[in-house]
Copies of this chain bind each other. A is one copy, B any other.
């Protein structure tokens, strides 16, 4: 395989490699407004695939979609003290509209807890109105001074779930249910192994009582927060007066949650699976799962034999993979090598070549994007073998990523060891921690590493690596995006 000349090797310059992969696949561009991006068709198709599959999982867990306004009165943000402190520095503010200066400035939503809280207070009267299980797909804006495509952009696309419940238990259950929806989606669809856990106080969503997170390791060994689910307690219910009459006729504040994932997931896919040739997409999220390439210099053979056979195979594969999930490449003005590279750099998981030799032996030459491995598939066996190969690619990508994370995760018991691992090896550091928020801050300032989460399902306690106190909980530290 020739080397991709348009992509800087990952080992040489990871940031440049990341941008080169995006450019080669035509996934996104910077927009003329600083910090904003244009998501091009190749990138947007991945978002559509994420969106439709997540949406199905949201609906299966009883959620419905709705749409709340883009603009929020600036006074709304101020109703929850930590919320305004967290978000107002990042806000974009509309001061003129319809040719006039506005009496009250409007903020472009950085997230919608406030305006949704305001509406919920109108919609909820009785316990019969609960739970409310609403999700919204939309754009949000948080002004970004050091933008990076998909990972940190001023405007991004996301979904934000907002639910209201009659009891604390029910709201907490919802928070963890959605964390699990995210985890299983990321692992099963994006082939993205994630650790789930609870954020430390300093890393919580502004206004939340608890924030749960899915943390993934990128191929540069840094952590990426891939999705979060927040238990908001009664904080927003109190700020926005969301009250209901319970079964005994008494007024109570509701318990709320919120949870979201964004176009950042596309960045996570790139930094988990892509290689020095470009994008690699797990089949379950790939908009195009396979491409059929008829190749021959012989125009007669092409028109009379190869193309008709390719068309037949296309129709057969459409039936099992879905109408838009398989394409036939007819870019005959390009050289074969360029045609290979075109799909390879767009991350298509499987390439099916059909030339003179293949016609003679009634086989397709299948080339895997993940390993480069070549497999011959008999025309008869297409319906069985193509899905089987795709499943194998999916599993291989997941296992490869999980092994990489495991190989780069270390348990440490002292701050000395912590520093050694961080400086010499990088990766995830597991350690029992019982320090204060102040200790956490000191560690961050000294090392740039942060607590990614306290692991869920790790009931053991141990001696704190930093304070040497008993009763430390198992935390994962890492340098993060």
Contacts and interface: CB of A to CB of B under 8 A. Distances in A.
A124 interface: no
Given A73-B33, A98-B90, A98-B145, A157 B38 contact: no
A44 B95 CA distance: 29
Most buried by B among A41, A98, A108, A134: A98
Nearest to A263: B67
Contacts of A36: 69-71
A68 B31 contact: yes
Contacts of A307: none
Nearest to A92: B97
B96 A41 contact: no
A48 B51 CA distance: 13
Q: Name the prevailing secondary structure of the A interface residues.
A: mixed
Contacts of A94: 92-95, 108
Contact of A65 (B41, B71, B90, B91): B41
A334 to B, nearest CB: 10
Contacts of A118: 32
Interface of A: 29, 31-33, 36-41, 44-45, 47-48, 59, 64-73, 76, 89-99, 105-106, 108, 115, 118-119, 122, 128, 134, 138-139, 141, 143-145, 154-155, 157, 324, 333
Given A32-B115, A66-B41, A155 B59 contact: no
A93 B96 contact: yes
A70 B139 contact: yes
Contacts of A44: 64-67
B155 A71 contact: yes
A161 to B, nearest CB: 13
B92 A71 contact: yes
A72 B69 CA distance: 19
Contact of A33 (B38, B40, B69, B92): B69
Contacts of A144: 98
